[in-house]
Structure 1
Amino acid sequence: MRRLPNSLYRAEQVREFDRMAIEELGIAGAELMERAGKAALHALREAWPRARRIVVLAGIGNNGGDAYVVARLARAAGLEVRVWQVGDGARLKGDALRMARFWREAGGETAAYKPGLDLGGTDVVVDGLLGIGLNARLEGDWADAVRAINDSHAGVLALDIPTGLHADTGCVLGCAVNAQLTITFIALKQGLFTGAGPRHCGQIVYDDLRLPPQVLMSQAPAVSRLTFAGVAHLLAPRRRDAHKGDFGHVLIIGGGAGMGGAVRMAGEAALRVGAGLVSIATRPEHAAAISAARPELMCHAVSKVAELRPLLAKADVVAVGPGLGQSRWAQALLGAVLDNDLPMVVDADALNLLATEPVQRKNWILTPHPGEAARLLNTDTKAIQADRFAAVKALQQKYGGVVVLKGAGSLVAAADSPLALCDAGNPGMASGGMGDVLTGVIAGLLAQRRTLNSDPAQAMLLATRLGVSVHARAADIAAKEDGERGMLALDVVDALREVVNPAQF
């Protein structure tokens, strides 16, 4: 086992790696199963060192073969092991059949699965039912076995992928195992890291089964994991003679009736990541309160488009949407923004308004959550979550620029660039205002684009990837302090300064 790599692959790519190892490199399939089983048992013993009673549920494919290896090795290590065969054991073949025979020859017993099985009293359940080839909704004994695992109250180790989770999309096919630990083999599957994947996988560990590096290098990754370590170099210390003009002027537009807090949080986030100047354009009734709460924000009362135009003329970057609403005022201000050529970040109700009259442009960043993404693509949230990778690609193709599809495993898409996935962050971010903070973070970093890259399009992509990563890392720091439940958006803002100064002095 090793640190998680940054490359994510589709199931068909992983199957090709497996074929190459066996057919081109001459590594026997049985040897790969032995390696997988040994790695899985090691992971189990590390996660549950006091476990003594192990139940293994084995399917009829290669995933089941891995499970039989785990059972045999666990029994040899002195653990009490019970194996249940799910599916017709007569259909076992090849290496999986061989591993089932080795288990029996070692003195192990296999019982045919019966619906309604009670797994209570077990320390750890090993899910070796179905692997990455699953494409259909679980039914019958398979679904019943998943429910039995989830009802067991035992620790759950999933082999390669939790049964019921789609390896490519991260969606649940009817029902899925809730694992506390998933050990995945050969290469990381993209569906483990977004959608329902994080909820069902628990902690993910990885073992490449000692395949030579050239196997994985034979194909380009489908997606790259976006890690803070991979983007932290963009946050180099500033020159000692720097001044505020070096770091850009952000204009944030929003704060419709009753929503002044949203635009204030976005503005404060932009300041905290280092924007030189931040102006706020909001409804007159909010201006004084925002100025009093955060005097560093230059807050302007804007009741009509004519009052917005001078502010646009002074800005380097525009962020529009936090608390904007969908009133005539909101529509007029968004129209004025779209009439200029400034790079911009578009979020919240600005996205909902955009969905009614779609346009495409290159120099903007759209940051929808699944509901907003559904409106932008004229579909529903369920369809978006069923394949988030396809959805973010469709959004980018339709609207241009850079698109962030928010949620567990946020995705970043841009033309002619690999998809990026951020698996940092935590459930504490599921509260109001988090999206407004992300808008401000990205806008604030985009305002500093000259320090990122001289090419405008590349700088926009880098600012987005950096912003998503910084936002998630700040949320993880905030959660570590006092826990996830009850975490506020401003708690994340408070952590931003620490994150964007990783090598300070």
Structure 2
Amino acid sequence: MKALSVPHHYYLCTAEQSQQMDKATIEQFGIDGFTLMEVAGSSTAKDLLTELPADSHGLYICGKGNNAGDALVVARYLIQHGHDATLLFISGTEDLSADTEKNFDLLRKITENDSAAASVSILESWAEFEDINGVAYDFIVDGMLGTGLNSDLRGDYVKAVAWTNETDLPVYSIDIPTGLHSDSGHIMGDAIQAEKTYTFGTKKRGFYLEDGYSCTGKILLCELPFPNYLKSCNTFLLDRSWVKEPQYPPAKHKYDAGVLYIIAGSEGLTGAAILAARSAWAEGVGAVILVCPRGILPIFENNLPQIIKKPVGMKDDTCLKEEHLEQIVQIIEERPGDVLLGPGIGREPDTLAFCTSFFAQYKGNLLIDADALWCLAQQEDWQKPADAASWIVTPHPGELSKLTKDPFSDGSQRLDVVRKLSKEKDITLVSKGFPSIIGTRTGKCVLTGYDTRMFARAGFGDVLAGKIGAYWTLGNPAAKSAVLGLLNGYDKIYRDKTTTHRSPEPNDLI
């Protein structure tokens, strides 16, 4: 994305992308899988040792694959620091993956040769575990199933997950909570509710979609020695740590800091225009010029003294009409700037006609929001004109569905729709919701890692549109304007205490 450089530890990868990096590192770069497992498990153990109480007893619930091998590395380190371990192999210890079998052997060498190590008990089935009574555990390590899960949990894995979630013990998941789909964030029948998830190499896309938020707990990334040139991803996690706040040179004249035209307002819907104009003005734009129907001008004169008003039409016009188009274009041409179209314009037939003509004729930067999105969706096959500059569209999920004429049922499908639509239509798309998703013209997407559902509520979207429009007008590229709008628009709402959602926090990195 132009003007945005995302660090590799904010990549959100699918299971296939993660597996390809792992395979390429082993086969092309020359670091074997056993070494990668050692790095993953030792990094996890290092963090656990900082928070586990002394002499605690861990229950390690393991499957047969490499997820279990990672858990065995953790157990090997922890028993050497005085933490007892019970290893529960849900499907027995036959046919373990090669690296998991090797780590099982190493763990047994420790127990056989190090008299100072803590005790290790081994259980070969869930039934064997159920027969044990009175053992007190202090924590659970979930090493059952990893990112390859593509069907609902079955058999004893269902029992193990249900039992784990019923305990009040802290649960630490290895790479991904068992039962959580790595790509979609769906719960596959049932899933571990972890206190922490230690994820390896890359963060997983499903952590930030659908049920991912409720399953992962705190996410800690344990970096693996994947060379950067083998890392490939098209989805990224939004975080303030990698977004450089722009520095603007002092303006010699108010218009040097840019002009944002907000074409907005209709009878009964003036609040949206007021919120958007105030939001944009607060970011230091040289001039915010509100273009509105003349009949509602007195409302804006009373509520927006710092904003330049340009009324169009007659005194009895209370909505935008196609006959206003020429006058509005002339206003914009007097002092070129960017345009935000939509807050509170309504859905009158006259307004629909105006918007349809404006979409076709205006060639500058255009941010389409609110009712203007509804107007755009009325076109059978809408397109950004080939000779137009850039478009940013900011739909909530319902508006996005209308724009695509293709309903979607979950966040994963919405992400796919955003990626496809932004690339096919050559636009920047901000899909409001939880998470909010920014789709770029290249098809790359950015997801928020914090709760942004308030932007889909009445009024908050107008604040967001004003912020994005302001950053665009101040000279930032479209994608970066959207990023800054989501970060700083959220903070503005949070500081004003108009929502109880938590403010974004940096993600942890080991």
Alignment TM-score > 0.5, same fold: yes
| Counterpart check, 1:273 vs 2:283 | yes
Q: 3-state SS of the aligned residue for 2:9?
A: coil
d(CA) in 2 for partners of 1:22 and 1:135?
Answer: 24
Query: What is the CA distance between 1:297 and its match in structure 2?
Result: 2.8
Query: What is the CA distance between 1:439 and its match in structure 2?
Result: 0.9
Aligned counterpart, 2:359: 338
Count of residues paired in the alignment:
470
In the superposition, relative to structure 1, how do residues 88 and 200 fare at CA in structure 2: closer, same or farther (>3 Å)? same
Instruction: Kindly provide the CA deviation profile for residues 39-63 of structure 1, in whole angstroms up to 9, marking residues without a partner as x.
Output: 1122233355579343322122111
Give the AA of the match of 1:310.
Q
d(CA) in 2 for partners of 1:257 and 1:83?
Answer: 69
Q: Quick one: which of 365, 383, 404 aligns to 2:430?
A: 404
Q: Quick one: which of 198, 209, 215 aligns to 1:183?
A: 198
Query: What is the CA distance between 1:116 and its match in structure 2?
Result: 12
Aligned counterpart, 2:64: 60
d(CA) in 2 for partners of 1:85 and 1:427?
Answer: 41
Aligned counterpart, 2:247: 236
Aligned counterpart, 1:202: 217
Correspondence 1:160-309 to 2 at 5 A: 160-209=175-224, 211=225, 215-233=227-245, 235-239=246-250, 241-256=251-266, 258-281=268-291, 287-299=297-309, 300=311, 302-305=318-321, 306-307=323-324, 309=326
Aligned counterpart, 1:380: 407
Give the AA of the match of 1:414.
T
d(CA) in 1 for partners of 2:357 and 2:295?
Answer: 21
Larger radius of gyration: 2
Q: Quick one: which of 465, 471, 487 aligns to 1:439?
A: 465
d(CA) in 1 for partners of 2:427 and 2:141?
Answer: 44
Aligned counterpart, 1:460: 478
d(CA) in 1 for partners of 2:269 and 2:433?
Answer: 22
Q: 3-state SS of the aligned residue for 2:409?
A: helix
In the superposition, relative to structure 1, how do residues 202 and 125 fare at CA in structure 2: closer, same or farther (>3 Å)? same
Q: Return structure 1 stretches of 4+ with deviation > 6 angstroms.
A: 115-121
Instruction: Kindly provide the CA deviation profile for residues 66-114 of structure 1, in whole angstroms up to 9, marking residues without a partner as x.
Output: 1222233323322243333234543423112333444456333225225
Instruction: Kindly provide the CA deviation profile for residues 383-422 of structure 1, in whole angstroms up to 9, marking residues without a partner as x.
Output: 5x13343221222144331112233443322333643344
Q: Which runs of 5+ in 2 are unaligned?
A: 1-6, 112-119, 312-316, 505-510
d(CA) in 2 for partners of 1:112 and 1:472?
Answer: 49
Q: 3-state SS of the aligned residue for 1:296?
A: coil
Aligned counterpart, 1:146: 161
d(CA) in 2 for partners of 1:482 and 1:154?
Answer: 34
| Structure with higher helix content | 1
Give the AA of the match of 1:367.
T
Q: Quick one: which of 359, 373, 376 aligns to 1:351?
A: 373
Aligned counterpart, 1:108: 121
Query: What is the CA distance between 1:359 and its match in structure 2?
Result: 0.9
Give the AA of the match of 2:253.
H
Query: What is the CA distance between 1:251 and its match in structure 2?
Result: 2.6
CA contact (8 A) 1:409 1:422 kept: yes
Alignment RMSD, CA only? 3.6
Correspondence 1:124-135 to 2 at 5 A: 124-135=139-150
CA contact (8 A) 2:471 2:481 kept: yes
Aligned counterpart, 1:97: 101
CA contact (8 A) 2:10 2:236 kept: yes
Q: 3-state SS of the aligned residue for 1:387?
A: helix
Q: Which moved more, 1:279-288 or 1:265-274?
A: 279-288
Aligned counterpart, 1:498: none
CA contact (8 A) 1:56 1:67 kept: yes
Normalising by structure 2, we get a TM-score of 0.79
| Counterpart check, 1:367 vs 2:356 | no
Normalising by structure 1, we get a TM-score of 0.80
